[in-house]
A and B are shown apart, each in its own frame.
Chain A
Amino acid sequence: AQKITQTQPGMFVQEKEAVTLDCTYDTSDPSYGLFWYKQPSSGEMIFLIYQGSYDQQNATEGRYSLNFQKARKSANLVISASQLGDSAMYFCAMRDTNTGNQFYFGTGTSLTVIP
């Protein structure tokens, strides 16, 4: 079974608008971490934001925020005030102790910001 599911292969957003990238996860472990990474066309993977399963508040990092809905097992990334430089692939990932600290990655969402 897929541990991480990203159902949006491609998304478009107008510059300066907000966009939500979906991510759902599957684990039976009560302790886990959720991560989002950005991969521009240059290929490097850039860490964006982290949410712990026991964190009471949604994580925020600048223009990035994570809409964490634990009961629904979703961890959507919200990018506010989109910029042209946000055009990239975005990967959701999870680590849980059941898997010996492996990271599981989704298939990614390609985001294109339109001027």
Chain B
Amino acid sequence: GAGVSQSPSNKVTEKGKDVELRCDPISGHTALYWYRQSLGQGLEFLIYFQGNSAPDKSGLPSDRFSAERTGGSVSTLTIQRTQQEDSAVYLCASSRGTSGRDTQYFGPGTRLTVL
């Protein structure tokens, strides 16, 4: 079956512009996660959606970052007034549920470059 897809694969933008990153999880997966990975670094948790519950936004670095998940499926991560430090790869992952065994499956990521 289809894996997690993300678009665009690459995004170059100018400082101060808004960007939207899209994630399409695996069909039937109820949990969806966004992470940020800076060059050569580990994964930084941003936000987590589980079913119809309120999202866990505890990892969002500032109020310029927001995310939504429509219909329990596709998710959009929005970064407003982008800054150069926002340049990173943004990874989306989904999992079937939230039991301990439910692993995450990752998309290919969106590489964001803010000039």
Contact = CB atoms under 8 A, between A and B. Distances in A.
B56 A102 contact: yes
B101 A50 contact: yes
Contacts, number: 53
B42 interface: yes
A53 interface: yes
B42 A106 contact: yes
A100 B33 CA distance: 12
Contact of B100 (A52, A100, A102, A106): A52
B101 A45 contact: no
B100 A33 contact: yes
A12 interface: no
Contacts of B101: 33, 50, 52
Contact of A50 (B45, B59, B91, B103): B103
Contacts of A32: 100
29 contacts: A33-B100, A33-B101, A35-B103, A37-B106, A43-B89, A43-B108, A44-B106, A44-B108, A45-B91, A45-B106, A50-B101, A52-B101, A91-B43, A95-B100, A97-B100, A100-B48, A101-B48, A101-B98, A102-B45, A102-B48, A102-B59, A103-B33, A103-B104, A105-B35, A105-B42, A105-B43, A105-B45, A106-B42, A107-B42
